[in-house]
Amino acid sequence: MNVEALNGRLLFAIPKKGRLHERCLQLLAGADIQFRRSDRLDVCLVMNHPITLVFLPASDIPSFVGNGNVDLGITGHDVILEAKMQDKVTEIERLAFGKCALQVQVPERGPVKTVEDLAGKRVVTSFEVLAGEYFARADDRLALVGEQRTKIQYIGGSVEAACALGLADGIVDLVESGDTMRAAGLHAIATVMNTEAVLIKSNTPSRADHSPLINLIASRIAGVVAAGKYVVCSYNISREALPRAVLITPGRRAPTVSPLENTDWVDVSAMVVKKESARVMDELVEIGAKDILIYSLNNCRV
């Protein structure tokens, strides 16, 4: 693509593959960001906004946003810390997908049972910075110095095989379902951090006139995320029981309460967390609510 075609357009970095890629495409569709991407190109123009999508490895996105001309990006919270970009980018929105834990793992049948047992030994990881900081604190607690301190070695892939192949006594790696960890005969003995996908922007934007579009896209994405997390609960309740009902369905900010004609009852509508909707309905029934309905959300603005 001609570089001149990028001039004046907002640059939005998207993971090009891996565990975040497909969910990012769904998020863009929900935010009505329309584009066509050729299989061989990692750059494409958005058709309905002055935006260029740049498909990059998720691990590189914080650096391009923090140090380059890229305005927005989607990556993992863990990757931002690993790249030491937390002071150069702002996390606009947690995206509620890509959730996993960066954990210390050791052979299940091995002698190492705690982080203190592993300190001073060999640790292999793709997260050299985060693992180094974590074990530096453990080494300090144990007063390990010089050659006694934990040896951190970086490898880019197949980290879970390092113990079985004699390269490490333990590893630090991301765990989502835990299937890969268990298949490698490993188990977790500590969690370094929990992480998920985040929308980020640069703290030093390349162009001030991009701010309105950045805010628009952030608002749309926040709406898509909220629509996936919440449902609308609508019900009728007596005015006498309304204070208790509001405690059950406080909404994101406040419930909507509408009077019903010629009655001491009101209609209440509130957003509730989707995974808690069954419990919410049960509690409303207990205080006398009637005609309780749950509506799914396709999209919203919050």
**At residue 212, does pLDDT exceed 80?**
yes
100 - beta bridge partners? 195
For residues 136 and 76, membership in a common domain is answered with no
pLDDT tens for 82-139 read 999 999 999 999 999 999 999 999 999 999 999 999 999 999 999 999 999 999 999 9
pLDDT of amino acid 115: 95
Percent of the chain with pLDDT over 70: 98
For residues 57 and 22, membership in a common domain is answered with yes
89 - beta bridge partners? 202
The number of domains in the chain is 3
Q: CA 255, CA 272: separation in Å to the nearest integer?
A: 10
Domain boundary among the residues 135, 168, 195 is at: 195
Q: For residues 117 and 206, which has the higher predicted lDDT (pLDDT)?
A: 117
For residues 202 and 82, membership in a common domain is answered with yes
Q: CA 73, CA 59: separation in Å to the nearest integer?
A: 11
Of 102, 75, 88, the residue nearest 16 (C-alpha): 75
pLDDT tens for 224-283 read 999 999 999 999 999 999 999 999 999 999 999 999 987 899 999 999 999 999 999 999
In a domain, 21, yes or no: yes
For residues 72 and 201, membership in a common domain is answered with yes
In a domain, 29, yes or no: yes
pLDDT of amino acid 6: 63
For residues 119 and 168, membership in a common domain is answered with yes
For residues 77 and 125, membership in a common domain is answered with no
Band of residue 2 on the pLDDT scale cut at 50, 70, 90: very low
For residues 59 and 106, membership in a common domain is answered with no
**At residue 32, does pLDDT exceed 90?**
yes
Complete edge-to-edge strand list for the sheet that includes strand 197-202:
43-45, 51-56, 10-15, 72-76, 197-202, 89-94
Record the pTM: 0.86
pLDDT of amino acid 263: 84
In a domain, 218, yes or no: no
CATH of the domain at 254: 3.30.70.120
In a domain, 277, yes or no: yes
Q: CA 112, CA 147: separation in Å to the nearest integer?
A: 19
Would you say how long the chain is, in residues?
302
For residues 110 and 191, membership in a common domain is answered with yes
pLDDT tens for 38-59 read 777 889 999 999 999 999 999 9
Q: CA 151, CA 164: separation in Å to the nearest integer?
A: 17
Q: CA 74, CA 200: separation in Å to the nearest integer?
A: 6
Percent of the chain with pLDDT over 90: 84
pLDDT of amino acid 234: 97
Q: Do 29 and 71 form a contact (C-beta atoms < 8 A)? A: no
In a domain, 261, yes or no: yes
In a domain, 212, yes or no: no
For residues 111 and 78, membership in a common domain is answered with no
For residues 18 and 42, membership in a common domain is answered with yes
Q: For residues 207 and 123, which has the higher predicted lDDT (pLDDT)?
A: 123
CATH of the domain at 125: 3.40.190.10
State the chain's mean pLDDT as an integer: 92
Residue 90, domain extent: 3-97+197-206
Domain boundary among the residues 206, 238, 272 is at: 206
pLDDT of amino acid 3: 52
In a domain, 159, yes or no: yes
For residues 46 and 177, membership in a common domain is answered with no
Angle between helices 211-229 and 21-30 (to 10 degrees): 100
For residues 93 and 201, membership in a common domain is answered with yes
Band of residue 1 on the pLDDT scale cut at 50, 70, 90: very low
Phi, psi of 197 (to 5 degrees): -70, 145
Q: Do 284 and 249 form a contact (C-beta atoms < 8 A)? A: yes
Q: Do 78 and 130 form a contact (C-beta atoms < 8 A)? A: yes
Sequence-ordered list of residues with C-beta below 8 angstroms from that of 74, at least 6 positions apart, any chain = 13, 14, 15, 20, 24, 27, 58, 61, 95, 197, 198, 199, 200
Residue 116's CB is within 10 A of a number of other CB atoms, namely 13
In a domain, 141, yes or no: yes
Q: CA 231, CA 252: separation in Å to the nearest integer?
A: 11
